[in-house]
């Protein structure tokens, strides 16, 4: 076994929590830096769609997107929007983003790299939840994509081809079979695809909090303060600067979500990272519970029964960092949900609805950064997971621990290397 090191994990979201647990398993001493409460509303981990899907290998940027993008951005109810005042700042990221999906060859490579992190995600989460004494937080009932008709499904042929090429299994459902799986669904959806190996989390915020609590029970130290930078001299790390001074450590793992971009720049790595701001609405006591989470093709949002509520999560909004939420984006999600489920329209004004906005940390090429810093081998990156942070966290953390320990991995690490942006 390698000599135990003092490792500082910056960020206690789903990725940071999983990294802390992997490092503890390797016998290292771990300090977690997290200014907020683990699992709290400030983190993207709190408000995601709760899906743990091997099918999430399809990148956001796909061939032909550039032609469709103006229409998306001009559609006030569309799933992808941009605040035009932020365009000068966002343009370099958008340029890289569209190039990442410019050809089938490129998106196939991205899908393969995502599949390496996602293909066994449900099993990893079941094992992880059991290990921390919370097996009931992970439900393995599949994930359901629904369409108005077979033609709408066929229009997404490339996406489903990418899934098939990466081992995703599914069942096609006609109208009667779809109604049997989701009786609450409205009549406008008459074709479905059930991803049989999919799973979901019943309470993502509680899950992250439980992971961190378990890490603390194993000896990790949780400090409620932010990282401000790194003490690097001659290519070696001596500590992490915090608001209270220097925290001495042997290694650091940067898993701070959207805040990782500025900290990586301070360490010498310019990563094209932007917030794909996502929204959710949670309808308390909706009057029914979905056995299987649903994603409608016309809304591209995840609709999931979580603890006590129906969560409708989605939307991509590009805006200046720190801009106020546009709650109209959440209202669009609610309108989609009302169209999908006629029973919700009977809830009326008495239904209790909460709204949330969070920052998905998204790289321009759709892949996370899982590698040492280009300037310091003692500083390791684990950020930029975009839409797949929850699902891919256990596999990402395992790779980070392997890289830190110098172990050989079965996964090609080149697609996640920070030097790809140089």
Q: How confident is the model at residue 349 (pLDDT cuts 50, 70, 90)?
A: very low
CA proximity to 199, closest of 304, 340, 313: 304
Cα–Cα distance between 183 and 167 in angstroms, integer? Answer: 29
Percentage of residues in the chain having pLDDT higher than 70: 97
Q: What is the mean pLDDT of residues 250-265?
A: 97
Contact 140/122 with Cβ under 8 angstroms?
yes
Q: How confident is the model at residue 72 (pLDDT cuts 50, 70, 90)?
A: low
Q: What is the mean pLDDT of residues 23-46?
A: 96
Contact 129/135 with Cβ under 8 angstroms?
yes
Residue 421 clears pLDDT 60, i.e. is over it: yes
pLDDT by residue (tens digit) across 294-310? 999 998 899 999 988 99
Q: How confident is the model at residue 367 (pLDDT cuts 50, 70, 90)?
A: very high
Q: Give me 252's structure tokens.
A: 């650091």
Question: Residue 408: CB partners within 8 Å, gap ≥ 6?
Answer: 402
- Does this model's pTM top 0.85? My answer is yes
Cα–Cα distance between 344 and 337 in angstroms, integer? Answer: 8
What is the per-residue DSSP string for 228-286? EEEEEETTEEEEEEETTEEEE-SEEEE--GGGHHHHHHHTT----EEEEEEEEEEEES-
């Amino acid at each position: 076994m390698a000599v135990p090191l003092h490792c500082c994990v910056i960020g206690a979201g789903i990725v940071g929590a999983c990294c802390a647990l992997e490092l503890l398993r390797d016998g290292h001493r771990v300090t977690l830096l997290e200014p907020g409460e683990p699992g709290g509303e400030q983190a993207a981990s709190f408000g995601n769609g709760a899906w743990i899907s091997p099918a999430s290998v399809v990148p956001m940027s796909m061939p032909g997107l550039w032609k469709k993008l103006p229409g998306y951005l001009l559609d006030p109810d569309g799933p992808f929007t941009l605040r035009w005042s932020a365009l000068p700042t966002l343009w370099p990221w958008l340029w890289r983003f569209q190039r990442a999906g410019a050809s089938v060859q490129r998106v196939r490579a991205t899908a393969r790299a995502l599949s390496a992190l996602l293909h066994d995600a449900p099993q990893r989460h079941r094992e992880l939840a059991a290990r921390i004494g919370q097996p009931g937080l992970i439900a393995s009932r599949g994930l359901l994509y629904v369409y108005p008709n077979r033609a709408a499904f066929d229009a997404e042929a490339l996406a489903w081809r990418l899934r098939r090429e990466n081992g995703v299994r599914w069942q096609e459902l006609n109208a009667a079979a779809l109604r049997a799986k989701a009786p609450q669904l409205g009549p406008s959806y008459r074709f479905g695809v059930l991803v049989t190996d999919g799973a979901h989390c019943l309470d993502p915020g509680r899950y992250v909090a439980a992971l961190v609590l378990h890490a603390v029970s194993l000896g990790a130290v949780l400090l409620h303060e932010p990282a401000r930078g790194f003490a690097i001299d001659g290519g070696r790390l001596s500590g992490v600067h915090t608001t209270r001074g220097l925290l001495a450590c042997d290694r650091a793992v940067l898993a701070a979500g959207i805040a990782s971009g500025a900290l990586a720049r301070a360490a010498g790595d310019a990563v094209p990272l932007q917030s794909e701001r996502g929204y959710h609405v949670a309808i308390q006591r909706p009057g029914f519970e979905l056995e299987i989470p649903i994603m409608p093709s016309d809304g591209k949002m995840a609709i999931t029964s979580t603890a006590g509520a129906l969560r409708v999560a989605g939307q991509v909004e590009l805006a200046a960092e720190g801009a106020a939420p546009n709650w109209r984006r959440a209202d669009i999600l609610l309108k989609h949900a009302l169209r999908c489920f006629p029973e919700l329209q009977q809830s009326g004004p008495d239904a209790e609805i909460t709204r949330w906005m969070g920052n998905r940390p998204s790289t321009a090429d759709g892949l996370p950064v899982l590698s040492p810093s280009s300037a310091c081998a003692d500083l390791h990156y684990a950020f930029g997971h975009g839409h797949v942070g929850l699902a891919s966290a256990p596999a990402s953390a395992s790779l980070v621990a392997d890289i830190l320990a110098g172990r050989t991995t079965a996964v090609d690490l080149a697609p996640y290397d920070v030097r790809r942006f140089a």
